[in-house]
Amino acid sequence: MQKLTLFLTIFFLISLFYSCEETPPTVNLHPVTIDSTWVDSTNLVTQKTTVVIEEMTGVRCSNCPEGHEKLLNLVTSNAGRVIGVSMHTAKEYYTPHPQSKDDFRTQEGSAIVENLVGDPGGTPSAYINRVYHSTEYKRGIFLQDWQSVTDSLLNINAPLNINIIREYNSTTRALLVGVKVHFTKSSTGPFNLSIMITQDNIIDAQTLTNGKVDTNYVHHYVLRTMMTPFNGITMATSAERGRWFYKEFRKTLNSKWDASNCYIIAMVHYSGAKLEVLNAAEVGVEK
């Protein structure tokens, strides 16, 4: 907490310095507790895009373990560059088994599919940085295209950098997340910020390709909740080079979730009809 307190002290001094020139844009403050912006064009470093793969899956889906394996491979072979999110949103397959210890369905995941990216029409499928696939004519991409789409996106320069600051109290399970977004290139939006919490290494039931149920199956990157609405919060309609945004969020983690395997994902994406993710970052809740 001392590190975050020091950062906030420095941050407010900077904010006061720029207050005569800078007027923060109108934003949706819920559930943001601190929301500020300023400009600093020094030490700008352009980064390559971090790719977010939001997989549509379900515990009763016999085809999905193949997708799980591919997602795990893409994340581990591109360490720090690819972020996995498993959304249990496949309605035909997402109902827990009688043997299941947990229910991986989330309102946020279902809302993302139903109200933003659209049902891909089959599994395994994934939304890769939410880009529109020109061949499949949709955002939900089938397994055979995951590798090529991911590889193409990894070569793109991101117009912004994201840094996540977090403080977690293991006794109260209170989580404080600060997100700093720095635009390294002038960009036109509008832009939204979404914050997800996932959990890795969950042992629970899953239907396998042979139709049998494995009660010791290891589930990865399971979407647990979001710290923003499903479609994110408004950040800006545009941003000049050097523009910083800082937003802070608070949440209490569910007591059933293993915090040591939980991760915070922050991503900036277009709002409206254009949904593509511009960049993302991920940190562990405790790590």
Please write the tens of the pLDDT for every residue from 136-181: 668 999 999 999 999 999 999 999 999 999 999 999 999 999 999 9
Q: Which two tokens stand for residue 75?
A: 């994340």
Record the pTM: 0.88
The secondary structure element, H or E, covering residue 103 is: none
**Mean pLDDT of all residues belonging to the chain:** 90
Strands 51-57 and 82-88 come out as parallel
How many Cβ atoms are within 10 Å of 165's Cβ, its own excluded?
17
- How does pLDDT run across 114-129, given as a tens digit for each residue? 999 999 888 999 999 9
90-107 per-position pLDDT tens digit: 988 999 999 999 999 999
| Residues 53, 126 contacting (CB under 8 angstroms) | yes
Structure tokens at 255: 């007591």
Buried/exposed code over 262-286 (b: 16+ C-beta within 10 A; e: otherwise) = bbbbbbbbbbeeebebbbbbbeebe
CATH number for the domain whose boundaries are 2-284: 2.60.40.10
The domains of the chain are located at 2-284
Beta-bridged to residue 87, according to DSSP, are 56
Q: Give the start-end residues of each E strand in the chain.
A: 34-39, 51-57, 82-88, 125-128, 140-142, 160-169, 174-183, 187-199, 202-207, 213-219, 222-226, 233-239, 243-252, 262-270, 277-284
